[in-house]
Homo-oligomer: A and B are copies of this chain.
Amino acid sequence: MTDTLRIAVIGAGYWGPNLARNFRASPHWELAAVCDLDLDRAGRLAGPGSGVRVTSSVEALLADDTLDAVAIATPAATHHDIACAALAAGKHVLVEKPLADTSGRGEAMARAAAENSLVLMTDHTYCYTPAVLKIRELIEEGALGDILFIDSVRINLGLIQPDVDVFWDLAPHDLSIIDFVLPGGLRPLSVSAQGADPLGAGKACVGYLTLPLQHGAIAHVHVNWLSPTKIRTMIIGGTKRTLVWDDLNPQQRVSVYDRGVDLQTQSLDGVERRAAAISYRLGDTWSPALSEREALDSMVAEFATSIRERRAPRTDAGSGLRVLEVLEAASRSLAQGAVVTYPIAPHATELHAQLAGELA
């Protein structure tokens, strides 16, 4: 391995310490600085006598030429300005999810990264869990066949957030995972959201998101702050096999079922008919062994490797943008009580392609 990369963590609140801990422990990285408006908090995170620089000034931080990259763990509304400043200063950037507070600003960040040939990565941590990495691998190698449906449930008795509804609080997890495992990323044909605020909290506390996909497939997400039981399950149905991920079952998180329905196409009276011949497969179930590596450790390694290989990281700005766009469409659907045709911003998709190209 070549020399370690030097990183600063900006934001020492809830998520920053997790990032700092993993950068510190990673052989790829040297934690060089911690930046927070609250200097005390930054100092505690840096650690007494650790030699890690402590500052409350982003400007001063970015003036440090020995820094290779920054990790931004500040409120979403500040992501755009800090990230653009860091990119202008020639730093690679990791941003805590969501990428930005609006897709428009997220796009500007992506464009700035592409123009400077720098890595802009979204910290979709869940994508780096051993379970999700395995699911992506299985789909990639064709073990499930074509994807028919994805059903994701993430419900729990949760804190009612003061600033966001249940969609913006919980669905980013589901959406970033779906984006990560689907071969072409998450590109729904339309977005339909249904929510309920039965307690009168002023925002949806129960939410359903329906995302029709190409070729008749569908994705659906159920997020809920009011459930007394905790469920975190994703079912991914394919033409060959169906996978069930139960994140709360440590003894068997991922199960692959070799069961399904086969429809044969027949030509009857010159008309193509598929339903004519149905057969059911009742095969074995298989549960792959998963590594025990911490997700954040894999994530910071991917950040380093993408910088070194001058390639887009697995969860690049495009994935952050796609998640943002679906959330924005969901909010619009919720407000209008209607289905929102997607992509809302057709240029976004083109932009994605363009950005991916420029980095390469």
State A75–B192 Cα separation when bound (angstroms).
35
A260 CB to nearest B CB, Å: 7
Pair B261/A242 contact, Cβ less than 8 Å: no
Assess whether A274 is interfacial by the CB under 8 Å rule. yes
Pair A218/B202 contact, Cβ less than 8 Å: no
Known: A196-B218, A216-B198, A339-B338. A228 touches B206 (CB 8 A): no
A98 CB to nearest B CB, Å: 22
A263 CB to nearest B CB, Å: 5
Assess whether A122 is interfacial by the CB under 8 Å rule. no
State A122–B157 Cα separation when bound (angstroms).
37
From the candidates B151, B205, B265, name the one contacting A224 in the complex (CB within 8 A). B151
Pair A194/B206 contact, Cβ less than 8 Å: no
Known: A228-B257, A275-B160. A198 touches B286 (CB 8 A): no
Pair B216/A197 contact, Cβ less than 8 Å: yes
Copies in the complex: 4
Pair A201/B274 contact, Cβ less than 8 Å: yes
Contacts of A255 in B (CB 8 A): 229
Pair B286/A149 contact, Cβ less than 8 Å: no
Q: Give 26 CB contacts A-B under 8 Å.
A: A49-B49, A148-B199, A151-B224, A157-B259, A157-B280, A160-B261, A160-B263, A192-B194, A194-B210, A194-B212, A194-B218, A196-B212, A196-B216, A197-B216, A198-B215, A201-B275, A202-B273, A202-B274, A222-B222, A227-B235, A227-B242, A228-B242, A229-B235, A284-B287, A285-B286, A286-B287
| Chain A residues near B (Cβ < 8 Å) | 48-49, 148-149, 151, 155, 157, 160, 162, 192, 194-202, 205-206, 208, 210, 212, 215-218, 220, 222, 224-230, 235, 237, 239, 242, 244, 251-252, 255, 257-261, 263, 265, 273-275, 278, 280, 282-289, 337-339
